[in-house]
Structure 1
Amino acid sequence: MNQTAQPDPVPQPLPLLETDVLRTFVAIAECGSFTRAARQVFRTPSALSMQIKRLEETLGQPLFLREPRLVRLTAEGEALLGYARRLLKLNEEAVTQFLAPPLAGTVRFGTPDDVGTRVLPGVLARFARSHPAAQVNVSVGGTLDIIRRLDLDELDLALVTGGNDGQDQGRGEVVDTESLVWAGREGGIAARRTPLPLALASQGCAWRTKALAALDAAGVGYRVAYSSENCAGQEAAMIADLAVAPFPLSLIRPPLRRLGPDTGLPPLGDYQVLLVRNPKRSPVADALAEYVIEELRLARGG
């Protein structure tokens, strides 16, 4: 007997995540409290609780651990947080594309190579999608040169490292904090040489100032073996095992490694990245500045 073939079941569409609920979820995650988040999004804590309950039911996963006076993300909640932030940002870009007045013009942007390497790819890609009529001219150089060019009205916007011989005193806003550590070649011997050979950035750089001050305070003998306008020069000297260098933790990659306390080198602490705006800048420069701030926040998982 022939049996009639049953049609394949129609797959059910996946549920869509509502922007409003994602905004609530991000607010709670960042505030660590339903009550504080409720004030931020202008709703009651009970309304937020209902939204999160529906979201957890939709995804079939608990997103928060509720403790006395504290709300913490579960592992699933941490995974969702990254998606939620990107979805909200993409939604903002899409709405801006159609509703916001188009921005046009040129932004002259200056940055040291260590910061630019981390920030520029993501910033330029997203900024170009949202503001296709705008043009960004990027200048990469030392912090002191970038500050000088900003003062000469040759730049509209600049990222600089804080503590550069006082020339950035009271200027700009702190947009990132980075750990400065000692670095050298994996398995190398430069750190054991006496006096200690250093690969440093040019005079006036915050890294150089912090490193020399720390070595002097610790009584460690050293010699400046190599100087470079950019961190690529320092990196080359370290890879060749000719010197060690103060270096941002986020930029250390094989064959380089972080040098530990066993080397006898003093800790260097953190340094700050400042965003400085030209008072004569255009609205398109301010728009780019917001993308820079957001990219740095995402890069540090904030």
Structure 2
Amino acid sequence: MRRWWAAQRAQEQRVERAAGRLNVAERFNVAERFNVAARHVLFRDEARLRRGARGVTTAPLRSKCATLGPMAAQDGDEPFDIFDRTGKPLGVRKARRLVHRDGDWHRSVHVWVVLERESDGRRSDAEPWVLFQQRSPDKDTWPGAFEVAVSGHYRAGEDLAEALREAEEEIGLPLAPGDVIRLGTRRIVDDHAPGIVDRELQDVLLATTRRALAAFRPDPDEVTALLALPLHAALRLVRGEVPSVTGLMRQAPDERGAVKIAPRDVRLDEFVAARDGYYERALDTIRRRAAGVAPALWTLG
């Protein structure tokens, strides 16, 4: 699996080198010379291209890449290690689609991200803000719903350092094991979607950052938007004390590369369902840590 990803990265680097020798309007042709990984590279660099090429439109780039068809928000053949309910490895590897079909236990990682600055970038001396992502509409589970800022699976053979790649892939936030604090562990079964039984052993982690909301770089194939909520408002929402709260939403850049941030009212039913009290447990742990308390690790499920 690592060899496959190394080959993918080598291919992306060839795309980058080839694209670097072209003007913006020509770069869309790269997508026909390489596989669809080219589109990921080109779209990832699109804002930079706009800044560096005055008067050159990137519309042909989007138009041409769109002809490749929609990219899947996940790889159904991605291999997972299989575990029993207690977390004991069973020595079996299966493709993602088969794991979700058969309801096998597998590992995943959730990273809660707290903004140490206000969402507009100013230093915050008040309460922290908590970051959430809006899932891509192409996800096989909970499409379009809000959830924890970073969520992803351990691929077969991966450790935590490798699994934390999800943070950079999904929202553009590089993280290493030393950058996160473990909050607890969650065991969850989600069978709301027809034909999918998702049994996850989730490592629940916390990361803090001084980045402003506009500085994040969500992957449009994975994440539709980012939402920041004041911590206490988020707690009131998940406890059912209020029907909705107001946060700030970061939308994808427009055609000029400008990032739009605007107020957004959000309801609890717009989030991935968590009937085990997960959101309240995690947010309350974050609140206590912000107050200088070090709560014990917890287990849900």
Larger radius of gyration: 1
Higher strand share: 2
TM-score in terms of structure 1 length: 0.25
TM-score in terms of structure 2 length: 0.25
Larger RCO, structure (CA 8 Å, separation 6 or more): 1
Higher helix share: 1
